[in-house]
Chains A and B, each alone.
Chain A
Amino acid sequence: MKLNKILNNAFLIIVASLALSACAVSQKGTGQMQGDVYTGADTVEYLASGVPDRVFFATNESVLTTASRETLRKQAAWLRKNSKVTIVLEGHADERGTREYNLALGERRANAAKDYLMTYGISSDRISVLSYGKERPVDSGSNPLAWSKNRRSVTVKAN
């Protein structure tokens, strides 16, 4: 009985440590991702100093993350200061989806960014939306990190 309990506890400890080390490994492998949303700066360009041009999405999602909202607020502030600038929001999907659905998904993502910019005072007249679906990946890799970089909405100056 007692032995059993000790063994049981030992087993739990082993399981726990395995779980922890699994976490550590996956943290290391996907250090530039949170969940499956890209958090790195590899492909990011800047509209102006401190104003990143793009936001990233989870698989099949068009929900803006906290980091994405922060990026878009910076873009909105910059656009308010530069009131002549018009923009195109280019929505993209990764290669792991059918072409037509991804065109719609890219459009949905770019519009999520557009709606957020509008709530921060940017007129819809200054924003157009263009979905590329999965046609223009930035990273040609076939792995989760590459796919996370490709699920994006990029704000591009149109004039």
Chain B
Amino acid sequence: MYMIRTLFTIFLFFILPFKVFALIEVDITRGNLNPLPIAVSPLSIDENSKQNFEKILKKNNIGSEISLVVEQNLKASGLFNPLNKDAFLQAPEIANLKPRFEDWSLIKAQALITGKVNYVDEKLRVEFRLWDVLAGKEMMALAFTTVPNNWRRVGHIITDKVYERLTGEKGYFDTRIIYVSEEGPKTRRIKKLAIMDQDGANNKFLTLGNELVLTPRFNPTNQMVTYLSYFRNLPRVYLLDIETGMQEVVGDFPGMTFAPRFSPDGKKIIMSFAKDGNSDIYTMDLENRIVEKITNHPSIDTSPSYSPDGKYICFNSDRSGYQQIYIMKSDGSNVKRISFGNGLYGTPVWSPRGDLIAFTKLHKGKFYIGVMRTDGSGERLLTENFYQEAPSWSPNGRVLIFYRETKTNDKGEGFSAKLWSIDLTGYNERLVDTPTDASDPSWSSLLSN
């Protein structure tokens, strides 16, 4: 549909070698009680480049726009506190050459981002530097060249690099969210697939809303999506290539197929198949279309999700009488229940880091998003609400995105569904802005690595 990969070649090179020791460090395993004060100086731009980009992108100053993307990302992470630009004493072009560290420490900045934008052969060239203000040292310097339309992605990639340098872990900013857009009355919702950048920009609808669509999920290795569609009133698992718009049915069995997800290598789809009142878990190899039955039990077995090494599957079953979380080997052997707390457990999703399983829990009329270790120990509930479910992990396994629905009033009015994110520490809960109501989010892997 739009050609991310082909259009987008980022040339990335280091201007100067990395310093090998980390001076400032951000600890992301604790809450964001003391976000790191950081100054994001607007990227400087010469007059000629400015005019060229203004013509192409209709943006008055693309240098400032890119640094704004960086600033908003850092703020949304909850780990950084971008300082107010009005307090900056040094002009962007001079700061990028050699910051006057006294000026930046005066406004309490501990880290500083500076940079420069150029128009080179119809391309956008951006360089940026990260500085440790207290030590008075440069921590990293990078440059990118890309087509001008990718300017927001440049901001996301800069954020990823800064985040990685300061936290020691990969970022999650150059990513997208696929989700279900919702409109209309609760009894007759119109649902469409939609996709947007992780920060809500570049929202696009991928289906028209003629049929009910649910639970889109990204392939972790590329930009393919699997989802459930009620096309012709036959609920089936589909595959969608979001670059070409090509759709095909993959779960065309004589019954309902649903709850699809990709295997970590992207080569299989794992899903539920319901027939005669019983749902079991199956896999389909996308290359040779060989179907394998993984569970064989008269209970409901659904919501399967692979471990990142592909060796295990966590899933939801009511074989004990109620919804609980189980794990098994990927061939279906060694089934073991892991959720034993009070209440019902659903929607298990294995963290891309492998160490945790996120879930939805229903207990005493409240819904929780939580995480537990893969043996079921260490359950932690991150957020409680009237209704929320379906967590999806950021590619670095630090943030969860999920959806939340409101309670209607006595007349059945006031329903809404929205996307929210929360980080693993349970702090930094945020509404993720969408143009319509939204549900069933799925986080992509990093677009560029």
Contact = CB atoms under 8 A, between A and B. Distances in A.
Contacts of A114: 277
B412 interface: yes
B274 A135 contact: no
The bracket for how many chain B residues form the interface is: 35 or more
B408 A101 contact: no
B184 to A, nearest CB: 11
B372 interface: no
A131 interface: yes
Interface residues of A, number: 31
A45 B48 CA distance: 71
Nearest to A137: B187
Contact of A62 (B277, B322, B412): B277
Interface in A112-159: 112, 114-115, 130-131, 135-143, 146
Interface string A60-94: 10100000000000000000000000000000000
Nearest to B277: A111
Contact of B302 (A100, A142, A143): A100
B215 A99 contact: yes
Nearest to A110: B277
Interface in B383-439: 386-387, 389-390, 405, 407-408, 410-413, 415, 439
Nearest to B278: A108
B258 A142 contact: no
A152 to B, nearest CB: 13
B443 to A, nearest CB: 17
B272 A140 contact: no
A57 to B, nearest CB: 13
Interface string A97-111: 111110111011011
Nearest to B212: A135
A100 B316 contact: yes
Contacts of A140: 185-187, 408, 412-413, 415
B274 A142 contact: no
A110, A138, A140 interface centre (most CB from chain B within 10 Å): A140
Contacts of B212: 135
A59 B279 CA distance: 18
Q: Which of A62, A101, A131, A141: most chain B CB closer than 10 A?
A: A101
A60 B258 CA distance: 19
Given A104-B279, A107-B256, A139-B412, A99 B186 contact: no
B300 A105 contact: yes
A100 B303 CA distance: 6
Contacts of B86: none
B90 to A, nearest CB: 52
Nearest to A105: B300
A103 B256 contact: yes
Interface string B171-210: 0000000000000011111000000000000000000000
A53 interface: no
Contacts of B405: 95
B239 interface: no
A1 B412 CA distance: 57
Interface string B348-375: 0000000000001010000000000000
B214 interface: yes
B410 A104 contact: no
Contacts of B276: 111
Contact of B347 (A100, A103, A143): A100
A141 B303 contact: no
Contact of B277 (A112, A130, A138): A112
Contacts of A98: 303, 316, 323, 346-347, 360, 389-390
Given A98-B316, A101-B346, A104-B272, 19 more contacts: A95-B387, A95-B405, A97-B323, A97-B362, A98-B346, A98-B347, A99-B214, A99-B440, A101-B323, A103-B258, A108-B277, A110-B277, A130-B256, A131-B256, A136-B187, A139-B412, A142-B412, A143-B410, A146-B412
Interface of B: 185-189, 212, 214-215, 228, 233, 235, 255-256, 258-259, 272, 274, 276-279, 300, 302-303, 316, 318, 322-323, 346-347, 360, 362, 386-387, 389-390, 405, 407-408, 410-413, 415, 439-440
Q: Which 9 A-B pairs have the closest CB atoms?
A: A111-B277, A140-B412, A98-B346, A140-B186, A104-B279, A142-B407, A104-B300, A100-B259, A107-B274
